[in-house]
Amino acid sequence: MGFFYSQNNDFFYRDISLTGGTSVTIEDKNLDIVSLENSISGKLEGANFREISDLITREQIAIIVETKSDEELTRNVLEDYLNYELTEENSSFEFTGALLSESFYQQLLFAILIAFALMSLVVFLQFRSFIPSITVIFSAFADIFMSLVVVNLLGVQLSTAGIVALLMLIGYSVDTDILLANKVLKRDGNSINNQLWTSFKTGITMTLTSIVAVLAAFLIVGPFSSILYQIFLIMLLGLVFDILNTWITSISIIKWYAINKEKKKNEN
């Protein structure tokens, strides 16, 4: 992530909804997306190409071209390649200003920071102890951080939907960690290992059920919608990493804390 930031001056790739630019939907069933991409990629700044297909027949309906270039340049480049005029009947243009997109981006990041801060406050109020609280918070942060790293490696340009998915991950990440900490620290005479096993069975069932549901949606609907693709991809990555961060890292720290707490109680 450090190397990525040094190269891009940002923590992830942003699409035109967060940077500003032009989005063009070309309603042409016979247009070859590969040929289009090879021909005009170098003529438009940060061009990104997506195909829209019918969910049932899988036939191409349209192609979306997103670029940071302005509308006039984008129209000229596309019309030169297509050899016909782009009108309201065969296409649609959307332009987002850079200042508006940057402002919206900053607001989304602020919303994530506020949500994370409030989540941390609730966790500290729940446990009233530093180590269990920071363990839950660190696990949520690690889930988001690791998901972002993979998204960057895949070269995905995040939109507003991607930022919202990161916000959703906060909720998905803390539930199993809070379950684990509650079961172990408030065990009512049961052994630590017994409570660890009980919390693991419940937590892993919750997570695996969510993974199956999100994976099915990702495979069925994801290829036909970039918005849903990003949401399901980030949620899927976050859930997978949550298994590692909760049931390897967090469980080790919570067990260590519970054992030491029990020893001090017995000594007193």
All structural domains of the chain, each given as residue ranges with its CATH number in brackets, are 21-96 (3.30.70.330), 99-267 (1.20.1640.10)
For residue 93, how many other CB atoms are within 10 A of its CB?
A: 15
Q: Is residue 242 classed as helix, strand or coil in its secondary structure? A: helix
pLDDT tens-place string over residues 158-171 = 888 888 888 888 88
- On average, the pLDDT of the chain sits at 85
3-state SS assignment for residue 158: strand
Residue 208 pLDDT: 94
Q: How confident is the model at residue 55 (pLDDT cuts 50, 70, 90)?
A: low
pLDDT over 70 (residue 253): yes
Q: What is the mean pLDDT of residues 175-184?
A: 88
* pLDDT 10s digits, 216-243: 988 887 777 778 888 999 999 999 999 9
Query: pTM for the complete prediction?
Result: 0.80
3-state percent helix, strand, coil for the chain, nearest multiple of 5: 70, 10, 20
- Terminal alpha carbon distance of the chain: 46
DSSP states along 43-72: GSTT-EEEEEE-TTT--EEEEEEEESS-HH
The span from the CA of 236 to the CA of 218, in Å, is 8
Q: In degrees to the nearest 10, what's the CA dihedral of 124, 128, 130, 135? A: -60
* Alpha carbons 146 and 166: distance in angstroms, whole number: 11
Q: Which residues of 4-37 are buried (b: 16+ CB within 10 A; e: fewer)?
A: beeeeeeebbbbbbbbbbbbbbbebeeeeeeebe
pLDDT greater at residue 222 or residue 64: 64
